[in-house]
Structure 1
Amino acid sequence: MTIQDRAVTLDVTSRSVVYEGRVWDIVHDSFVFPETGEVLGRDYIDHPGAVAVVALDDDDRILMIEQYRHPVSMYLWEVPAGLLDIDGEDPVTAAERELFEEADVRADTWHVLVDQFNSPGASAEALRIFLAQGIHEIPEDKRHVRDGEEASMKIEWVPFDEALTAVIEGRIHNPSAVSGIMALAVARQRGMETLRDAHVEWNAHPKFRAEATNLYRD
C-alpha cells in the first residue's frame, strides 16, 4: 500500500475574517463534511506558507541562526526561513532570498529536503525545506541590512553531527530546524537519493493546488 495525503474540495458555504493581522488573518469557514452531510465551522490561521533552508558547507557544517521568538519567550536555534509573502515569487527564489537576507550567503545547488504542514489543525501554513550546497559568502558591502528581532541574530556554522545530536537530545525545538536536520540525516543514510529537484511541484500547498481558486464559494 502506498500512503499519500490527498486534497479535497469541500462545499465551503461561507468564509469570514475573524481577525485581520499584520502578517496573517484568522478566518472562519463553514463547510459541509461529506461523510455525514453535517455543516461544520472552523477557525484557523490563513497563512501564506513559508520556506526554510538547510545550508550545508564543504566542511559538513550547517548554518544555524539564533533568534528571539516572543510567543514562546525563547531564543531558538533555527535554520534560515521566511514567509511566501511576495506575490508571484516561487519557493526556490524565496529560499534564496531568505538565505541572502538572514545569513549573508548564496548557494549554487538546491534540492527539496521535505515538505510539511506545521500545525494543520489550526493553520494553513505549508512549509518547504530546501537543502542548499555550494555555499559562498556575500561581500559585506552587498549584504542585507537586518532589523527587528533579526538585527541581533547570531549566526553559527554547526557540525552536522552536533546539530543532529541537539535535535535528538531535545535541545533545539524550531520545526524547520528539527525537520530539516532529520530529513538530511535520512537522505544521507540513503545516499542522497531521496532529494527532489528544487523546482518540483508543491501541490500540497493550498496556494499552488490546481483547484485553489475553487476552495470555497460565497
Structure 2
Amino acid sequence: MKPHGTHSEEDLDPMSAGYETVASRPVYADKVMSLRVDDVRMPGGQVAERAVLDRPAAVTIVPLDDTDRVFLLSQYRHPVGGYLIELPAGLADKPGETPFEAARRELYEEAALRAATWHILADMRVSPGAVNQLARVYLARDLTVVPDDERYELGQAGEFEEADFRTEWLSLDEAVARVHAGEIQNSATVAGLLAAASARALGWKPLRPADLPWPAPLTARTR
C-alpha cells in the first residue's frame, strides 16, 4: 500500500492515469487568441479549474551578421506600457505555413533582411502555466538587406505598433550583457540571445536543421 499523497511513476504518467478535461467554458475570443476555463480531473480524483489562453505558435529570429552583430528592434507593447527591446518575431498563423516559412517571412517583414543560412536554436513554451503557445527560435546568418523599393512595393511598411519600430545592431556579446543587466526583458529575445551565445561558444554544434516540423504534442511524462 502506498503512503497517502504519494504516486508511482505509472500513476503520474498522463498516458496511464490521465489529466482529464471534464468540462470547458469559452470566455473570450478574437482573431489571434481565445480564453477558456477547463475543469481538469487530476490523477488523485480532484477537479480543479485551469484557465487556458490559446494562441497560435510563434517564431523568433536571431539575425547575426558576419561580424557577430545582432539586429534588434524596440517595439511598444501595450500590456507592459512601454517599449521592449526584441528580436524580429511574429505569429506562425498563415494557413499551410511551416515554421521555417514563417521565420523567413517575419525576418523580411520586420527587419527587411534575408538570410542564406538558417538553423533552429530552441523550442519554447513561453508561459505554460496559462498559455499553450509554442515558440521556436531561429538563427539566421549570411544576411542581405532587402532594398527599400522592393519592400514597400510589396506593402511591408508596417502598421500600428510595427510602424514605430526603432532598430539597432549590437554585438552579440553586448546584447547578452544587456540581458544580464535587465535591459532586455522579452522572454523569447532573452532565450534567443543566450541560446545563440551558447551555440557559438560550442562551435555551433547544437544547431538543428531549420526545416524540422514543430515538435510532437506533449502527451507523456518526460523521463
Which band: TM-score by shorter chain?
0.7 to 0.9
Aligned counterpart in structure 1 of residue 80 of structure 2, from 72, 87, 108: 72
Question: Secondary structure of the residue that 1:172 maps to in structure 2?
Answer: coil
Q: CA deviation at 1:15?
A: 2.2
* CA deviation map 1:113-156 (0-9, x unaligned): 01111111111111110000110011111211211000010121
CA spacing shift, 1:163–1:71, aligned 2, 3 Å: same
Structure 1 residues 44-193: aligned runs within 5 Å: 44-143=52-151, 144-193=156-205
In structure 2, do the counterparts of structure 1 residues 53 and 40 end up closer, same or farther at CA, with 3 Å as the change threshold? same
User: CA separation in 2, counterparts of 1:25 and 1:190?
Assistant: 40
Distance 1:98 1:7, change over 3 A: farther
Distance 2:108 2:53 in 1: 28
Q: CA deviation at 1:11?
A: 2.5
Are residue 43 (structure 1) and residue 51 (structure 2) matched?
yes
Question: How many Å separate the matches in 2 of 1:31 and 1:164?
Answer: 40
Give the letter aligned to residue 181 of structure 1: L
- Mapped contact 2:99–2:214 kept (Cα < 8 A): no
Normalised TM-score (structure 2): 0.84
What corresponds to 2:33 in structure 1? 24
Cα deviation 1:151-193 (Å, max 9, x = unaligned): 0101211111111110111111011211000001111111110
Deviation at 1:210, TM superposition (A): 8.7
Residues 184-212 of structure 1 show CA distances to partners (whole Å, capped at 9, x for unaligned) of 111111111011111224325xxxx397x
Structure 1: state its 5+ residue gaps. 1-5, 212-218
What secondary structure does 2:169 align onto? Answer: strand
1:33 matched to 2:42? The reply is: yes
Q: Which runs of 4+ in 1 moved over 3 A?
A: 6-10
Given residue 15 of structure 1, which amino acid in structure 2 is its aligned partner? S
Cα distance between partner residues in 2 of 1:92 and 1:22: 22
Q: What is residue 214 of structure 1 aligned with on the other side?
A: none
In structure 2, the CA distance between the partners of 1:210 and 1:116, relative to structure 1 (3 Å rule), is closer
Gaps of 5+ in 2: 1-12
Give percent identity, aligned residues only: 42
**What's the secondary structure of 2:90's corresponding residue?**
strand
Whole-Å Cα distance in 2 between the matches of residues 193 and 140 of structure 1? 35
Q: What is the SS of the residue equivalent to 2:200?
A: helix
Amino acid of the residue matched to residue 44 of structure 1?
A: V
Partner SS for 1:96:
helix
Give the secondary structure class of the aligned counterpart of 2:215: coil
Is 1:15 the counterpart of 2:27? The answer is: no
Q: Secondary structure at the match of 1:107?
A: strand
Task: Choose 1 or 2 for highest CA Rg.
Answer: 2
Give TM-score, length-normalised by structure 1.
0.86
Encode CA deviations 1:52-95: one digit per residue, 9 max, x unaligned: 00000111100101110111112111000001211221100001
Count of matched residue pairs? 201
Query: Does the 8 Å contact 2:121/2:207 carry over to 1?
Result: yes
Alpha-carbon RMSD across the aligned residues, in angstroms, is: 1.8
